Structure 1
Amino acid sequence: MVAEIARLRAEYHAFIRDNIIRISPSGVFGDYPNFADGGSRTSVNVVWGIYKRLPEQAQLDVSLVSGQARGSYFENATRVFLQSSFALLAHIRPGRWRYETSRSIASFDQYRHLAYLSEALNRDKVLKTMLGANSDYIVTPDIVVSRLPITDEEINQNTTVLDDSQSVAANTRLRTQNNPDRPILHASISCKWTIRSDRTQNTRTEALNLIRNRKGNLPHIVAVTAEPLPTRIAAIALGTGDLDCVYHFALPELRQSLIDLENEDQLDMLDLMVGGMRLRDISDLPFDLAV
């Protein structure tokens, strides 16, 4: 019997293979799947190693999928995998959860004050000039996971934890009595199909805004990528203080590809990030969010 997480991971890979991965013909080093850097022999070779390990390989498809479409498909595939796999852990992390793409953090309880800031900027031209026409405070993560507040009836399900007294637990945001209309942001997930040097800093910028501008608990802040080169993944994975961790869509497949290619430099960087708890496989993510 195949374990459920393994099955969901295989379905995730199958969706990515069928809807996102396409073969770019006639690159500098020959044809290559579209998450390789066609100008890098190492990137092309590593990606072919990953690709041949994905489940149920189909006919190589050369039809075009735009960069915007690839990003959207990758976000939705990751959201579906996460929602399905996290549901398997309901006995470990119960609650009513929402999984959404492209939703502003101002929608959530810890960041609700940012909505007032945005309104103030729109009303006051001088303030907008001082702080910037497009405020960087309100970010819109690729995927957000949130928890809905719970009623006192739910809290008292097994024993009388609370009564009608207003003197206890009067400010916690988990009670609908105190927080009737704002879900609590549990996780912010940035999805990067590939990583190029000019596109890495916005992930860290979003993370820092989430850290600095919250009123309440800090959500999990992670990134998911299909980038094949560990040295490029390191641009967002190394260091601490902003992202919790980076998750690769096919980490064991990536590692085996590097072993087969005997690429010690890339393998050393991969092992450094894994051993330093900065890089994990996508199958680790639902468990980490259950903490």
Structure 2
Amino acid sequence: MNRIHELRSEYHRQLCSSVLGRRDGIPNNADRSSKVSRKIAERLLQFLPYPLCTPPPDQTVGTRFEKATASFLQKSFSLLKHIRPGRWGFFVAETARSIEQFEQYEHLKFLSQAIVEHPDLAAILGSDYIIKPDIVIGRYPLDDQEINAEQHLLEGEEFARYTPLRKRNRPAETLIFHASISCKWTLRSDRAQNTRTEALNLIRNRKGHTPHIVVVTAEPLPTRIASLALGTGDIDCVYHFALPELIRAVEESNSESQKEMLDMLIEGRRLRDIADLPFDLAI
């Protein structure tokens, strides 16, 4: 068995033991008001070969989903060091560094300070610059010894004095923002819009290169996933926590419209499996 497959199975086992289950006989990632959502979600559960838990309170589901997803990504991404070398930090929302501590968004702290000192600015500037991703991946810059490891590339400070990849150019522990990962246990229209707004703010407010901006979801209904996945310009891609299992569940639901939408999302490269994400982060 390949290692990514093992980590994916471990991820599903963790979700089943801490998040995924039935409440009043209905999977807790289904929309109770939608018959097809309940049907697909139920079939999806049957394709996950692990005991289910008693669902936790709704207010804790998101945090548990974030932690499990971050753990999977950190473990799987560490296996790709030969493809994407570097030292990386993984931060979940409740313990995450402020976005202002990352290279591309460091300037936002001056804006925050200005608003504290001059509250009237808040009415002018709003709060669109305040971004709190669920999971952040940052890259630590390199010292000159690491840069010169294979051949002597740099010496002193005359050249390459501004690149953030060189540790001596920036304040201590200023990480480079590599990826923003939004975790959505389910998707509703308001959540999709909030996620798009956050993505656009990451793009608009940065200084430097754009980080990866992706979404991970356990939503069972393809038309709901489409509310976020369709279109380009904000989200790189949406990743399902169990896409092969979802494909089988949708096929057995006998809903032609849901199957057509799922096929469109996959063939249009707007929806992928969680196992694809570590490799896409290595790009």
Asked if TM exceeds 0.5, the reply is yes
Structure 2 distance, partners of 1:67, 1:229, is: 19
Aligned to 2:56: 65
CA displacement at 1:198 relative to structure 2: 2.3
What is the identity, as a one-letter code, of the residue corresponding to 2:42? W
User: 1:266-285 alignment to 2 at 5 Å?
Assistant: 266-285=258-277
- Aligned equivalent of 2:170: 179
Q: Is the 8 A contact 1:146 1:187 kept in 2?
A: yes
Question: Which one of 226, 232, 239 corresponds to residue 231 of structure 2?
Answer: 239
* 1:176 Cα deviation from its structure 2 partner: 0.6
Partner of 1:28: none
For residues 3-30 of structure 1, give each alpha carbon's deviation from its aligned partner in whole angstroms, at most 9, with x where no partner exists. Answer: 10000000100111110012111xxxxx
State the shift of 1:170 in Å.
Answer: 1.0
Q: How is 1:44-59 mapped onto 2 (pairs within 5 angstroms)? A: 44-56=38-50, 58=51
Q: How many residue pairs end up in the alignment?
A: 279
Are residues 1:141 and 2:136 paired? no
Structure-1 residue corresponding to 2:67: 76
For 2:46 and 2:255, the matched residues in 1 are separated by 18
**One-letter code of the match for 1:240?**
T
Q: Please tell me whether the aligned partners of residues 103 and 175 of structure 2 are also in contact (alpha carbons under 8 angstroms).
A: yes
**Are 2:18 and 2:55, in contact at CA under 8 Å, matched by a contact in 1?**
no
3-state SS, counterpart of residue 252 of structure 2: helix
Per-residue deviation at 1:197? Answer: 1.8
Q: Is the 8 A contact 1:237 1:246 kept in 2?
A: yes
Matches for 1:36-51 after TM superposition, within 5 Å: 36-51=30-45
The answer as to whether partners of 1:247 and 1:279 remain within 8 angstroms in 2 is yes
Q: CA deviation at 1:286?
A: 0.1
Q: Counterparts of 1:96-245 in structure 2 under 5 Å? A: 96-102=87-93, 103=96, 104-132=98-126, 135-164=127-156, 166-181=157-172, 182-245=174-237
TM-superposed CA distance for 1:64, in Å, is: 4.5
1:180 Cα offset (Å): 3.4
Q: Which 5+ residue runs of structure 2 have no aligned equivalent?
A: none
Is the 1:106–1:112 Cα contact (8 Å) retained in structure 2?
yes
**1:193–1:225 contact (8 Å) kept in structure 2:** yes
Shift of the 64–260 alpha-carbon distance from structure 1 to 2, 3 Å rule, reads closer
Kept in 2, the 8 Å contact 1:106–1:138? The answer is no
Inter-partner Cα distance in structure 1 for 2:190 and 2:203: 23
CA distance in 2, matches of 1:86, 1:240: 25
Instruction: Give the match's secondary structure for 1:65.
Output: coil
For residues 177-227 of structure 1, the C-alpha deviation after alignment (integer angstroms, 9 at most, x for no partner) is 102321000000000000012222110011001000100111000000000
- Cα deviation for residue 138 of structure 1 reads 2.0
Amino acid paired to 1:234: A
Q: Does the aligned pair in 2 maintain the 1:10–1:55 contact within 8 Å?
A: no
CA distance, structure 1, for counterparts of residue 193 and residue 164 of structure 2? 32
Residue 252 in 1 paired to residue 244 in 2? yes
In 2: Cα distance, 1:287 partner to 1:88 partner: 10
* Aligned-pair identity (%): 53
Give the C-alpha shift of residue 40 in structure 1: 0.9
Partner of 2:13: 14
CA-based RMSD of the aligned residues comes to 1.1
What CA distance in whole angstroms lies between the structure 1 residues aligned with 2:266 and 2:250?
14
Distance in structure 1 (CA, Å) of the matches to 2:26 and 2:276: 28
The 1:136/1:205 distance shift into structure 2, 3 A limit, reads same
Q: Secondary structure at the match of 1:200?
A: helix
